[in-house]
Structure 1
Amino acid sequence: MDMAQPEHVTAASTQPVLEVEDLRTVFLTDDGAVRAVDGVSFTVGPGETLGIVGESGSGKSVTALSLMRLLEEPARIIGGSVRFQGRDVLAMRPDELRGWRGDRAAMVFQDPMTGLNPVLRILRQVTEHMVSHGRQSPATARVRAVELLRRMGIAAPERAAASFPHQFSGGMRQRVMLAIGVANDPVLLIADEPTTALDVTIQAQILDLLRSLNEEFGTAIVLISHDLGVIGTVCRRVAVMYAGEIVEEAATEAVLTDPRHPYAWALVNAVPRLDSPAGARLTSIEGAPPNALDPPPGCRFAPRCPFKIARCDTDHPPLMEVAPGRRARCWVTADGRRLPAPPIPAQAAPRSAAPEERPLLEAEGLVKHFAVGRDGFFGASRIVHAVNGVDLRLRRGEALGIVGESGCGKSTLARLVTRLHEPTAGRIRFEGQDITHASPAEMRPLRPRMGMVFQDPYASLNPRMTVADALAEPLLAHRRAATRAEARERVLKLMATVGLKPEWASRFPHEFSGGQRQRISIARSLALQPDLVVADEPVSALDVNVQAQVLNLMLELRERLGLSYLFIAHDLAVVRAFCDRVAVMYLGRIVEQGPALDIFAQPLHPYTVALTSAVPEAGRERVILGGEPPSTLSLPTGCAFRGRCPVARPACEVPPPLAEIAPGRLVACHFPGSFSRPGHLS
């Protein structure tokens, strides 16, 4: 990918758009000043793209809010300077800030639903900044707003402009936020985690939009993310933050291929890739960042660093030039040496099963419909077709991945096979026993054998219960422990199993990090020694390092306890690293299924080709899927994917069956393998 500056950014444009020097931001608390941003310096030139990357708590978002002067008490900027085209941002009066924000500089936030006003139509919100800054009259602003929505890839922009935010999907709302951000052609755009909660296909569309804004308009972009893969697809330079400091700054390609700070090294190697060995352990950093109230005297990463030397514990390293154009805050690489490559993990062989072995879980023709009201008072009932005829088999000790975009039916399928929902049609067998319409009393003996791990561990844990109580509850309810003392003994063993300290048993959920809370959820799912664990997006909301820790833990538990996993995710690289087999879902149906190695090496369904190409890896040619899946309220006729498919033909008006075209490879396509060349789908 060519990361050169846009052609219209000439050599005369030498003045940096943004100059940040020794920026220091603290949060004033009763215990003292929390150093959220501690001496950050960088510049962004005209038409340049800078990525800021780091795990949660590293200071990325506080840096962005400090640049825009959007912080409120108890946060306070206590030092440094921020200059925008030579103007001192920290010295601007409130009226000057109002004129600057949204006009010359704009910001796009992570959660578009909280950034958009739920009671105002989209047109009003897009035109608001143009009119208030005097850039357009109300009439011309309305015309420009519709054109902006069209340029952001929103179909039927006139209709979309008259809609409210809740009528849009997450990806469409983020496009609206981008339209608002660029409405006044800002010189600088700050995007704070704009793709974190989005599907991989929608993420690819948003990143493509950001890159086109930079290339077409010369907009300087600061992109904040915890994922170096995302940064690598858009940004020419990257600054890696840890504990409020920049620990490495260099060209993005240099950091991705040859990181010079151990923290950047760990982030690069923690990201699963489509070409990684299946079942191999990911590189992760154990422990947690230092206390921002009282950071250590030496290198702040030293307590977690696998390469540290004696000097790292006592002397705080400055941001030094370790190679031409490269700066790193590390004593180990200060003399120009490189960090060693991580050991190449052995590829785990997929588990094989004897042909006569009975599957642990079987589903045949599974269907689930939800009634969601009527069209008018006398109208017909409206039906959501969530799952539309799914067949699957899961063997003992196997990990089966279910992938697809939001709304394709993955989570509904998980709740069906665990009988949290009753199927509308079809059949479910658990170890040969038909549980399709089993009553709650009939399911009760089977519940301990089915564990579940949910996407949001904080929402799935009772905030009023300690960890010990949360883990003891299923043991006591299912009489797996006779007394509370016995239950507590089992709880401590469970905590040790998932890498939690026994002394944390008396803590409440809010006292843990996201990764630690997910470990608690995994421990709870293991409390009753299940045969099957259904993991519904267990790592999608986690930083890449914490994600690596949780995936490594789940792999270890599978090997040690012989667990079977139904692993649901929208990130194919994660599924590639974890699962033996993969089923790709689209609009409630499985469109491709087979061994993970084969599906990722040679996807046969056009939808699978698009998903695999959308994984954010630097240099990857991507298929950008146009539009969004059809509404589940009214299923299309024929092949469900044909409206977005580049190889759709008249034969696709007949729905294709899920047919076996090679041993273990099933594809629902009339022309499997006919689309494999990266390009643009419209």
Structure 2
Amino acid sequence: MDGSLTTPPTTTLDPPVLEVEDLRTVFLTDAGVVRAVDGVSFRVGAGETLGIVGESGSGKSVTALSLLRLLDEQARIVGGTIRFKGQDVLAMRPAELRAWRGDQAAMVFQDPMTGLNPVLRILRQVTEHIVSHGRMPPAEARQRGVGLLRRMGVAAPERAAASYPHQFSGGMRQRVMLAIGVANDPALLIADEPTTALDVTIQAQILDLLRGLNEEFGTAIVLVSHDLGVIASVCRRVVVMYAGEAVEEAATAEVLADPRHPYAWALVNAVPRLDAPIGARLTSIEGMPPDPLHLPQGCRFEPRCPFKIARCATEHPPMLEVAPGRRARCWVTADGRSLPRPAVPATPAAPAARDAAPPLLEARDLVKHFVLPRRSLFAPAEKVHAVNGVDIALGRGESLGVVGESGCGKSTLARLLTRLHEPTAGSVLFEGRDITHASPAALRPLRPRLQMVFQDPYASLNPRMTVGEILVEPILAHGRAASRQAARERVGELLTTVGLKPGFASRYPHEFSGGQRQRVSIARALALDPAAVVADEPVSALDVNVQAQVLNLMQDLQQRLGLSYLFIAHDLAVVRAFCDRVAVMYLGRIVEEGPAAEIFAAPLHPYTVALTSAIPEPGRQRVVLGGEPPSTLRLPEGCAFRARCPVARAACAEPPPLREVAPGRRAACHFPGDFAPHPTPVRSASLADHQRR
């Protein structure tokens, strides 16, 4: 399971498990007919892995749902064919569909919490398909169900089988969904964004499971994702979708090395690279996909394409063979030519060394415990130990990244530093002033200087207010404009600053895309001229192109306005591309801190080694951690990472201090650097290798 993509597909002469020809799916809306999937064709052979990649709204998830005829009522398949081992899926009667789904073809959905029944125990849900399809009697099915949970890496499967979905983490729930999907050994498994918003370690484990299913059982897999790194680590072939169409289809290694459609080119080059200079700009394409109700006459990507020619505006290109086994929907590459390499970004100036000047924002031995409600009158009170003695400092004009698995305390730390939570112990200093226990009245004049960008822009923007009203409110509340008219003029400047049109001020949040809403959140944070911005997962759920746009915007604003960022993320490649320094958190503590380039080149703490090895890149040597982080209700004695550490020793029974082990490098480990394998990417398929050429 090395993730190599150099082996060519072996299914050329075999009958395909899945054959899709000219699939057309529409949504019937009051405004008109939306062509969500418009003429998509592909084949998946036995034991083959196919990726479908594209940004939100490209039609990839609708394609996946169409394959199993799981569409909502307003959706219709109006053309094309879907054949499973020669059988026409679109001609199946309801009884035939029920017998086929979950038995020969199965699907793993994006959100396991909504995909699992919250009132049924886990084992009941895993065995339901086994019994209903008559594979075995209930008693044997229960044994198989426990075995499937064990095979999927669920700890203590006998106990987990009696649990409910809400008692599992996101990664564990996704494992349960995989166990349900493969319960009857299907010939075809469709996985729709199975790793979106998961930690990098959990994501790597899920991808390992998918590769294992493909290799061990010969399961044909269709993996839907907006992340090319995820696709590259599992799939040998890829279909790139844009505006409802397939715009390129080829071996994954070929698309990564030499994309033949400008949109695929943009996706490949928008992915953050581990070998790029710190602070280098990401390649991105501005603009939005076309309105599905009013599609352009020519190429649908033409308004955003940097390589367009006159023909692209008037003639809609078909899927053309641009090389043996490769197809692309592009007039520019129709004669077989390659697209030019992106310009090599200039190496940015190295971040200035921090001098003896006091930091802008600082935490000293910061602690936060949350007391849980008593389960009964006589039960002891329990505490969640969210943050457990954090020392961290953000310099002026600096970008400091904070990374770690879910539950490690990153978001709680952000709320402590911005004083949305009051610390249990320790202190917080901003611009040299102790704000640990400052009253709301004392904090009010400081709020404009210390702003926060939240993870979910839709939840943090009032849906009943226009964007203009959202931005005007803090300006007037803090007296930053003499009149409402002056405040509205300031709103126009802010929207222009973040790359939006001033006219958008009259729109409501639901009228924007995810990337545009995040730009509005950034505009709101900038409205009061802050010195520091705490950004909590600002790009975690964005497509790679939109992610690149937002990161480039934040870099531009930092250079123009001298901002300092505390940047929280679980995507290590993003942190590597954006941040000067990195702090790694585990169970409420910082276990390693140092310059970003040095942390990723030579991590010192075993946990950091495991995190960096889990970045989805073909051929990376994976360091598999056993189990999940310990409970935050009862902290372990000694080193918190000891139970999962590959090199734990007797000395780890004592908690290691966070100490300086090299100039500018701190690590909380008794044996820093003793466990540091250096993964080497597979050169023929690596994103980083392509971008170095």
**TM class by smaller structure:** over 0.9
Shift of 1:585: 0.2
State the distance in 1 between where 2:193 and 2:592 align.
31
Shift of 1:350: 3.3
Shift of 1:248: 0.4
- Partner SS for 2:643: coil
Matches within 5 A, 1:131-280: 131-280=131-280
Deviation readout 1:566-594 (Å, 9 max, x if unpaired): 00001111011111110000000000000
1:361 touches 1:431 (CA, 8 Å); kept in 2? yes
Shift of 1:362: 1.3
Shift of 1:277: 1.4
Aligned partner of 2:96 in structure 1 is 96
2:5 touches 2:618 (CA, 8 Å); kept in 1? no
1:5 touches 1:215 (CA, 8 Å); kept in 2? no
Shift of 1:544: 0.5
Structure 2 residue 431 is the aligned partner of structure 1 residue 431? yes
**Structure 1 letter corresponding to 2:253:** E
Aligned partner of 1:597 in structure 2 is 597
Aligned partner of 1:119 in structure 2 is 119
State the distance in 2 between where 1:561 and 1:59 align.
39
For the structure 1 residues 162 and 5, does the alpha-carbon distance in structure 2 shift closer, same or farther, using more than 3 Å as the test?
A: farther
Matches within 5 A, 1:614-625: 614-625=614-625
Query: Quick one: percent identity of the two aligned structures?
Result: 78
Shift of 1:480: 1.1
1:622 touches 1:678 (CA, 8 Å); kept in 2? no
State the distance in 2 between where 1:619 and 1:301 align.
32
State the distance in 2 between where 1:319 and 1:354 align.
54
Matches within 5 A, 1:643-658: 643-658=643-658
State the distance in 2 between where 1:591 and 1:128 align.
43
Shift of 1:276: 1.5
**Structure 2 letter corresponding to 1:21:** E
Shift of 1:64: 0.6
Aligned partner of 2:670 in structure 1 is 670
State the distance in 2 between where 1:354 and 1:248 align.
47
1:369 touches 1:384 (CA, 8 Å); kept in 2? yes
Shift of 1:509: 0.3
1:6 touches 1:214 (CA, 8 Å); kept in 2? no
Q: Normalized against structure 2, the TM-score is what?
A: 0.96
State the distance in 2 between where 1:545 and 1:417 align.
30
**Structure 2 letter corresponding to 1:408:** C
Shift of 1:354: 5.2
Aligned partner of 2:528 in structure 1 is 528
Matches within 5 A, 1:290-305: 290-305=290-305
2:4 touches 2:619 (CA, 8 Å); kept in 1? no
Shift of 1:72: 2.5
State the distance in 2 between where 1:401 and 1:30 align.
45
Structure 2 residue 603 is the aligned partner of structure 1 residue 642? no
Shift of 1:30: 2.3
Matches within 5 A, 1:257-406: 257-353=257-353, 355-374=355-374, 376-406=376-406
**Structure 2 letter corresponding to 1:338:** S
Aligned partner of 1:660 in structure 2 is 660
Aligned partner of 2:130 in structure 1 is 130
Shift of 1:485: 0.7
State the distance in 2 between where 1:346 and 1:622 align.
32
State the distance in 2 between where 1:176 and 1:269 align.
34
- Partner SS for 1:469: helix
State the distance in 2 between where 1:309 and 1:354 align.
49
- Partner SS for 2:386: strand
2:11 touches 2:45 (CA, 8 Å); kept in 1? no
1:193 touches 1:225 (CA, 8 Å); kept in 2? yes
Aligned partner of 1:61 in structure 2 is 61
Deviates more, 1:159-168 or 1:377-386: 377-386
- Partner SS for 1:612: helix
Shift of 1:355: 2.3
For the structure 1 residues 432 and 4, does the alpha-carbon distance in structure 2 shift closer, same or farther, using more than 3 Å as the test?
A: closer
Shift of 1:441: 1.1
State the distance in 1 between where 2:405 and 2:390 align.
16
State the distance in 2 between where 1:188 and 1:105 align.
5
1:5 touches 1:47 (CA, 8 Å); kept in 2? no
State the distance in 2 between where 1:4 and 1:357 align.
52
Aligned partner of 1:420 in structure 2 is 420
Q: Across the two proteins, how many residue pairs are aligned to each other?
A: 677
1:5 touches 1:48 (CA, 8 Å); kept in 2? no
1:353 touches 1:395 (CA, 8 Å); kept in 2? no
Shift of 1:5: 8.1
Q: Normalized against structure 1, the TM-score is what?
A: 0.98
Matches within 5 A, 1:490-569: 490-569=490-569
1:6 touches 1:216 (CA, 8 Å); kept in 2? no
2:5 touches 2:253 (CA, 8 Å); kept in 1? no
State the distance in 1 between where 2:61 and 2:379 align.
48
Aligned partner of 1:586 in structure 2 is 586
Shift of 1:626: 2.2
Deviation readout 1:150-205 (Å, 9 max, x if unpaired): 00001100000000000000000000000000000000000000001201110000
Aligned partner of 1:452 in structure 2 is 452
- Partner SS for 1:374: coil
**Structure 1 letter corresponding to 2:579:** C
2:112 touches 2:177 (CA, 8 Å); kept in 1? yes
For the structure 1 residues 598 and 10, does the alpha-carbon distance in structure 2 shift closer, same or farther, using more than 3 Å as the test?
A: closer
Aligned partner of 2:686 in structure 1 is none
**Structure 2 letter corresponding to 1:35:** R
Deviates more, 1:662-671 or 1:272-281: 272-281
Q: CA RMSD in A?
A: 1.4
2:281 touches 2:345 (CA, 8 Å); kept in 1? yes
Aligned partner of 2:46 in structure 1 is 46
Deviates more, 1:293-302 or 1:383-392: 293-302
- Partner SS for 1:632: coil
State the distance in 1 between where 2:394 and 2:340 align.
40
State the distance in 2 between where 1:616 and 1:290 align.
30
State the distance in 2 between where 1:72 and 1:646 align.
47
State the distance in 2 between where 1:14 and 1:359 align.
64
- Partner SS for 2:459: helix
Deviates more, 1:313-322 or 1:460-469: 313-322
**Structure 1 letter corresponding to 2:276:** S
State the distance in 1 between where 2:8 and 2:618 align.
19
Shift of 1:618: 2.2
Deviates more, 1:66-75 or 1:509-518: 66-75
Deviation readout 1:424-467 (Å, 9 max, x if unpaired): 11111111111111111111110110111011000000000000
Shift of 1:275: 1.3
Structure 2 residue 107 is the aligned partner of structure 1 residue 81? no
Aligned partner of 2:611 in structure 1 is 611
State the distance in 2 between where 1:261 and 1:641 align.
46
Deviation readout 1:299-352 (Å, 9 max, x if unpaired): 111110000111111111111110111111111111111111111112223322
1:496 touches 1:502 (CA, 8 Å); kept in 2? yes
Deviation readout 1:579-619 (Å, 9 max, x if unpaired): 11100000000000001111011111011011111111222
- Partner SS for 1:593: strand
**Structure 2 letter corresponding to 1:178:** L
For the structure 1 residues 183 and 5, does the alpha-carbon distance in structure 2 shift closer, same or farther, using more than 3 Å as the test?
A: farther
Deviation readout 1:516-554 (Å, 9 max, x if unpaired): 000000000000000010000000010111000000000
- Partner SS for 2:214: helix
State the distance in 2 between where 1:5 and 1:169 align.
35
Any unmatched runs of 5+ in structure 2?
680-693
Aligned partner of 2:17 in structure 1 is 17
State the distance in 2 between where 1:544 and 1:423 align.
36
State the distance in 2 between where 1:287 and 1:361 align.
36
Aligned partner of 1:465 in structure 2 is 465
State the distance in 1 between where 2:5 and 2:364 align.
49
Shift of 1:375: 5.1
Any unmatched runs of 5+ in structure 1?
none
Aligned partner of 2:633 in structure 1 is 633
- Partner SS for 2:559: helix
Aligned partner of 1:572 in structure 2 is 572
1:54 touches 1:225 (CA, 8 Å); kept in 2? yes
Deviation readout 1:231-270 (Å, 9 max, x if unpaired): 0000000000001110000000111111111000000000
